[in-house]
Chain A
Amino acid sequence: MPEILNMLIASVIPLLFILVYAVVILWVEIKVASHVQDRLGYMYTGGFHGWAQPIADLLKLLTKEHITPANSDKILFTLAPFVVFAGSYAAYAALPFTSTFIAANLNVGIFYIIAITSFVVIGILMAGWSSNNKYSLFGAMRSVAQIVSYEIPTALSILTVVIVAGTLNLQEVCQVQKGGLFNWNIFKYPPFMLITFLIYFIASLAEVNRTPFDIPEAESELVAGYHTEYTGMKFAMFYLAEYANMFLVSGISAILFFGGWDSPFGEFLSGPAWGVFWFVSKGLFFVFLQIMLRWTLPRLRVDQLMYVSWKVLTPISFVNIMAVGLWAILK
Chain B
Amino acid sequence: MQADLSMLKNVGLEHFLIVSAILFSLGIYAVVTRKNAIMVLMGIELILNSANINFIAFSKYSTAELSGHLAAIFVIILAAAEAAIAIAIVLNIYKNFLTVNIDEIDNLKR
Contact = CB atoms under 8 A, between A and B. Distances in A.
Q: Do chains A and B touch in the complex (CB under 8 A)?
A: yes
Interface of A: 1, 3-4
Contacts of A3: 5
A26 to B, nearest CB: 36
- Chain B interface size band reads under 10
Nearest to B1: A4
6 contacts: A1-B1, A1-B2, A3-B5, A4-B1, A4-B2, A4-B5
Contacts of A1: 1-2
A1 B2 CA distance: 6
The 3 closest A-B pairs by CB, nearest first: A4-B1, A4-B5, A1-B2
Interface string B1-28: 1100100000000000000000000000
Nearest to A3: B5
A3 B2 CA distance: 10
A3 B1 CA distance: 11
B22 to A, nearest CB: 22
B92 to A, nearest CB: 21
Contacts of B5: 3-4
A51 B104 CA distance: 64
Contacts of B2: 1, 4
B43 to A, nearest CB: 19
Nearest to B2: A1
B60 to A, nearest CB: 14
Contacts of A4: 1-2, 5
Interface string B25-37: 0000000000000
A6 to B, nearest CB: 12
A102 B106 CA distance: 58
B37 to A, nearest CB: 19
A78 B2 CA distance: 32
B83 to A, nearest CB: 14
Contacts of B1: 1, 4
A3 to B, nearest CB: 8
B44 to A, nearest CB: 20
Nearest to A4: B1
A287 to B, nearest CB: 34
A134 to B, nearest CB: 21
A77 to B, nearest CB: 22
B51 to A, nearest CB: 20
A72 B5 CA distance: 40
B1 to A, nearest CB: 5
B32 to A, nearest CB: 25
Nearest to A8: B1
B23 to A, nearest CB: 19
A168 B5 CA distance: 27
A138 to B, nearest CB: 20
A309 B2 CA distance: 49
A131 B4 CA distance: 38
